[in-house]
Amino acid sequence: MKKFSILLITLIALVGFTSCQHDDDVVFVAQPDVDGVAFTNTFSENYTLTSQTSGNLAERFVWNEVDFDAPTTVTYELQGSIDPDFSSFDVIGTTSENNLGVKISQMMALAEDAGLDNDPNSENPNTGQIYFRVRAYAGTDGGNPLNTTSEVKSLNVILPEATEEGAEEFPKIYVTGNFGAASGYTSDWSPEAGVPLAASAAGKTDFEGFIYMNVEAPEYKFLPQNTGWDGDYGDAGAENGAYTEVLLQDGEVNAGTPDGTGGYFLVKANTDELTYSLTETNWGVIGNATPTGWDSDTDMTYDADNKVWTVTLDLTAQEAPDNGIKFRANDAWDLNIGDNGADGTMEFNGENIGIAESGNYTITLDLSNPRMYTYTLTKN
């Protein structure tokens, strides 16, 4: 009996030792080193944050994929904080992908929490640091012990001081490419000489503008600012070489035109929806004030040096908005521009433009300033 007891105690000790070893293994698996998670994108030296561009993408955070060697998806949680120790933080977003876009408005919220502002009369600074990190965990439960967190990334943000009240500009992005010098612009592939596209209002990402690409095979990219290449967008690319009209920031190719040739294009891009398009346009004047009435256009000629379309013709007096003239592209009504309120600035599908006196006129159409399209009627 005594011998049996000794054997039993020995067996219990061995089992206990094995259980302890097993528990240690579980703890090790629950806090894996994995290979860790880390940001892999290139960050800008500074991020300029304005209300006019609040809807724009400030940065697309990209990180490596993590494998927990578990039969479940991996969730990535991007966190932002005003404290480098992340004693408190905001969850910017979660995804099962290895990237997540952050808008300027989201960075601005963190900057304001950090005490930054753009008031020139305020004692608060307009430049400072905000912090980001990404956490990966197995499954969709944020409390899962299978997780790993990246090192903290510090970003320098600038809130430009407000200038004259009411002088708000449209948010803009810029297009640069091989069309520059050949099309009357300053230079080729220069961010500083990028041609602007404008959004419809503050916080919007529906950028548009007109660009003359006078080269055989235009190539170009979209830039969030005209001070450098940080955050540039290109085409997502396709196996057959065709342009997808899908914007991509990492692994992109140069964007192009629908048929690979040059022309005068209406360019649209949406940095939220990650799409872009080009429509070639040739402009003319139509209306019952022109010699051919509403039946056909009188073609205009593009002046690349002055970036305007012009034509000289006889016009008869007509009263708007029922009569007069309009501008339209490609001998069709899909793209036409008029003048609501006769204020000299133009709107797509706007009202007819009246002609006060009959006579010979030089007509100029200026589409070079995005969303601020203008025209002139000069009597000769």
Q: Decide: 199 and 171 in contact? Cβ < 8 Å.
A: yes
246 pLDDT more than 90: yes
d(CA 272, CA 212): 25
CA 84 vs. chain centroid, Å, equals: 28
Domain limits, the chain: 47-158, 172-280, 283-379
CA atoms within 13 A on the CB side of 217: 2
Kindly indicate the confidence band of residue 119, based on its pLDDT and cuts at 50, 70 and 90.
confident
The pLDDT of residue 42: 84
End-to-end CA distance of the chain: 127
Kindly indicate the confidence band of residue 142, based on its pLDDT and cuts at 50, 70 and 90.
confident
Locate the DSSP E strands across 14-118.
47-48, 57-62, 74-81, 90-95, 99-103
* Furthest CA-CA distance within the chain: 128
Average pLDDT along the chain: 86
Mean pLDDT of 115-122: 84
| For the ranges 21-30, 161-170, 227-236, 286-295, the one whose mean pLDDT is highest | 286-295
d(CA 56, CA 174): 13
Give the model confidence (pLDDT) of 310-347 as tens digits: 999 999 999 999 999 999 999 999 999 999 988 777 99
Give the model confidence (pLDDT) of 276-314 as tens digits: 999 999 999 999 999 999 999 999 999 998 899 999 999
Q: Decide: 233 and 251 in contact? Cβ < 8 Å.
A: no
d(CA 86, CA 155): 14
Which of the two residues, 44 and 153, has the higher pLDDT score? 153
* Domains 47-158 and 172-280 fall in the same CATH topology: yes
Give the model confidence (pLDDT) of 343-371 as tens digits: 777 999 999 999 999 999 999 999 999 99
pTM above 0.75, yes or no: no
For domain 283-379, give the CATH number: 2.60.40
Give the model confidence (pLDDT) of 189-227 as tens digits: 999 999 999 999 888 899 999 999 999 999 999 999 998
Give me the amino acid identity at 169.
E
Instruction: Tell me which fold the domain 47-158 belongs to.
Output: Immunoglobulin-like (2.60.40)
CATH architecture of the domain with range 172-280: Sandwich (2.60)
**For a pLDDT cut of 90, what percent of the chain falls above it?**
64
The pLDDT of residue 334: 96
Would you tell me how many other CB atoms lie within 10 Å of the CB of residue 85? Answer: 9
